[in-house]
Structure 1
Amino acid sequence: MTEKVSGPRLLEPQPANRGPEARPHRRLQLKSLGEVAALIALIVVFAALNPTSFLTPQNMRTILELASLPLVVGVGSTLVILTGSIDLSVEGVMGAGGMTFVLLTANSRGTADLGFWALPAALLVGMGLGLLIGLVHTALKVPSFIVSLGTWFIGLGIATLLYGDSGIPFLSDAALKSWPTRLTIGLPNAFLLAAVIVLAGIAVTRFTRLGRFAYAIGNNEEIARANGIPVGRYKVYIFVAAGACSAAAGILASLQLGQGSSTVGNGNLFTTIAAVVIGGTSLGGGRGGILRTAVGVLMLTVLNNGLILSGVSPNLQSAVSGAVLIAAVLAAAWPHRSRLRIVK
């Protein structure tokens, strides 16, 4: 008879039942240095190619500001991917959350100004869309790929309805619009906010039941369920957290833009998923983490910034980014190709 085991011992974020593929903690740490080494190599290469422009304080701040949105989205996306699922709703949820925030704060349309309360209201929109994904995925057994794709368009539809046809809703508060780019301790506020969210996400994955359960579910969902983990409930929690992260990114993007836009999230899905994979988090679940995703985001941001400074055409930049993503997926998946499974 199988005995149910409770307590945190079972739920440490380490690969379980992987046989010869399990690695000592030290090897995992050494492997993590590979992404950091790649980031340093990119910085060295582009600093050599653009000695007068790349390592300037202004360009470093630009890189950090550009990295802020995918860092925020990446926290939620990493949690979802750690469970073996995927969230494709990012851009739609960003649009819905961003438009909600703009219309509930001081704006050129003169709609209701809730002040500070516009922020939690917008986050609740994202959490509600995340809740929808989680409930449909767990209760109706619909693959997260399909549910989140549909929710992307639901969020986009909500954002489009809120945008309406009454003219662009511009933010009226000049201080609010300039907040993301203002410097605190020499760093853009947008990046500092992203760093706080990343640190909070790391703390969740390392020190809370939610994080430990995410790894356990991703390692083997059936074993996790057999050992008493409420898999469905915690998957819902994680999708709600991912929705909140996407909505927060939509708010930040709207502040950077200075206006409401239903398409404020465009382009962030590819960047985020690519950063998660390049950082070393397995699409099959159970391996990786938010710190790895942060390194992946910085790698992609440095790559794109360096290519721009080097005069590479935008079309070629997209091709290079796609090639880097494919190479990263192959490098991560090839050693484990015999046991790869489709993302749930």
Structure 2
Amino acid sequence: MRQILSRSTNGPIGMIAALLALIIVFSLLNPRFGSVENLQNVLFQVSVPLIIVVGTSLVIQMGSIDLSVEGVMGAAGMAWILLSPNTRLETDIGVWAWVVALGIGLGFGLLTGAIYAKLKVPSFVVSLGTWYVGLGVAILLYGNSLLPSLTSETLARWPTRLTLGLPNSFWLAAVVLMVGVLISHYTRFGRGLMAIGNNEPIARSNGMPVDRYKIAAFSVAGTLCGLAGILATMQLGSGSPDIGFGQLFVVIPAAVIGGTALSGGEGGVLRSALGVFLLIILNNGLVLAGVDPDFQSGVFGTILLIAVIAVAWPQRGRLKVAK
């Protein structure tokens, strides 16, 4: 167990060095990259995927995967805005809108975890189904009526408002990340997830409640996707079933680049978070470097592919997704 935990906490130095190298290169290409305004912009952009990757990492640590991110975000975000001050409905239940939206995320996580743990359906298949169920719920809530937009200036401006020089959305993500790191590395639950990913049969033989841990991990991931859906909706200022579009293809590669093995038993929340920072900084730097918009996706994808292969190649014998 100590060896597993040690592997999960060693290695951020290389990621930090890569981040510093990117910052130096992009600052030389465009001095605006290193400005305070752009730093605040990067932290604003990183907030939503940073929240998601905490839950995603807990699931990946045990050798599973959660693909339901975008659907759960859409359902939770739409529920939240329709229960908050908006242009379509007069319903405003205050803080209970947050409770309902987070409850939706928790419900989807519980459903995914229960089917995966109790019915032994691969997490890849279950979470893919949950993704589309969540998307369907979001589309039903969106309907064909007036686009629901926030009418509360306080809520609409909260994510970008600065506290101690940093966006509020980043402070929220930082708190979630801090709690995630503590859970992942310093609790029985976090160590249990790592042990399951490393060798599930041994974990079961030692009396560990494996099924309970699996359901709990997906429940946490679903709840955090719900929170991310709320934050993304606040940032946009209006409701959309596609509010989570593209997030899945940031958080999972970020986790892999950070060293959280898809086979489980290695990595952790902190390393995955560093992977998120690397991808967001890379994307931001390409924009400021003046890379043609028509080529940005191709350049970003190529660099991402090289990075993933470089990290995953030494572990190719252990990698598996549908566990």
Shorter-chain TM-score tier: over 0.9
Instruction: Letter of the 1:15 partner, please give it.
Output: I
- In the alignment, does 2:225 pair up with 1:246? yes
Find the aligned partners of 1:76 and 1:248 in 2 and give their Cα distance: 11
Instruction: After TM superposition, give the deviation of residue 28 of structure 1 in Å.
Output: 7.0
Of 91, 95, 112 in structure 2, the residue corresponding to residue 116 of structure 1 is: 95
- In the alignment, does 2:158 pair up with 1:169? no
State the Cα deviation string for residues 130-176 of structure 1 (Å, max 9, x = none).
11111111111111001101110100000000111111011111111
State the Cα deviation string for residues 209-241 of structure 1 (Å, max 9, x = none).
211111011101111111111111110000000
Find the aligned partners of 2:143 and 2:318 in 1 and give their Cα distance: 49
Gaps of 5+ in 2: none
Percent identity reads 54
- In the alignment, does 2:129 pair up with 1:150? yes
Contact 1:77 1:273 in 2 (8 A): yes
- In the alignment, does 2:130 pair up with 1:141? no
Find the aligned partners of 1:340 and 1:312 in 2 and give their Cα distance: 34
Contact 2:87 2:149 in 1 (8 A): yes
SS in 2 for 1:119: helix
Of 1, 5, 19 in structure 2, the residue corresponding to residue 39 of structure 1 is: 19
Find the aligned partners of 2:9 and 2:95 in 1 and give their Cα distance: 41
Of 6, 15, 28 in structure 1, the residue corresponding to residue 4 of structure 2 is: 15
Structure 1 residues 339, 170: CA separation in 2 closer, same or farther (over 3 Å shift)?
Answer: closer
Find the aligned partners of 1:189 and 1:68 in 2 and give their Cα distance: 9
- In the alignment, does 2:181 pair up with 1:194? no
Structure 1 residues 318, 231: CA separation in 2 closer, same or farther (over 3 Å shift)?
Answer: same
Find the aligned partners of 2:10 and 2:214 in 1 and give their Cα distance: 30
Instruction: Letter of the 2:27 partner, please give it.
Output: A
**Other-structure match for 2:30:** 50
Instruction: After TM superposition, give the deviation of residue 29 of structure 1 in Å.
Output: 5.9
Q: CA RMSD in A?
A: 1.6
Instruction: Letter of the 2:295 partner, please give it.
Output: L
State the Cα deviation string for residues 214-270 of structure 1 (Å, max 9, x = none).
101110111111111111111000000000110100000000011111111101110
**Other-structure match for 2:253:** 274
SS in 2 for 1:54: helix
Find the aligned partners of 1:35 and 1:43 in 2 and give their Cα distance: 12
Find the aligned partners of 1:29 and 1:204 in 2 and give their Cα distance: 13
Of 103, 116, 120 in structure 1, the residue corresponding to residue 82 of structure 2 is: 103
Of 125, 128, 137 in structure 1, the residue corresponding to residue 104 of structure 2 is: 125
Structure 1 residues 106, 322: CA separation in 2 closer, same or farther (over 3 Å shift)?
Answer: same
Of 215, 232, 235 in structure 1, the residue corresponding to residue 211 of structure 2 is: 232
Contact 1:102 1:254 in 2 (8 A): yes
Find the aligned partners of 1:274 and 1:83 in 2 and give their Cα distance: 17
Instruction: Letter of the 1:33 partner, please give it.
Output: I
Structure 1 residues 336, 258: CA separation in 2 closer, same or farther (over 3 Å shift)?
Answer: closer
Gaps of 5+ in 1: 1-10, 17-24
Find the aligned partners of 1:54 and 1:273 in 2 and give their Cα distance: 26
Contact 1:277 1:325 in 2 (8 A): no
Contact 2:159 2:235 in 1 (8 A): yes
Find the aligned partners of 2:303 and 2:136 in 1 and give their Cα distance: 32
Instruction: After TM superposition, give the deviation of residue 293 of structure 1 in Å.
Output: 1.2
**Other-structure match for 1:22:** none
Larger radius of gyration: 1
Instruction: Letter of the 1:96 partner, please give it.
Output: A
Instruction: Letter of the 2:4 partner, please give it.
Output: P
Find the aligned partners of 1:244 and 1:43 in 2 and give their Cα distance: 33
Contact 2:262 2:319 in 1 (8 A): no
**Other-structure match for 1:286:** 265
Instruction: After TM superposition, give the deviation of residue 109 of structure 1 in Å.
Output: 1.5
The normalised TM-score by structure 2 is 0.96
Q: Compare 40-49 and 304-313 and name the one that shifted more.
A: 304-313
The normalised TM-score by structure 1 is 0.90
**Other-structure match for 1:20:** none
Find the aligned partners of 2:159 and 2:60 in 1 and give their Cα distance: 28
Instruction: Letter of the 1:114 partner, please give it.
Output: I
Structure 1 residues 263, 103: CA separation in 2 closer, same or farther (over 3 Å shift)?
Answer: same
Instruction: After TM superposition, give the deviation of residue 110 of structure 1 in Å.
Output: 2.2
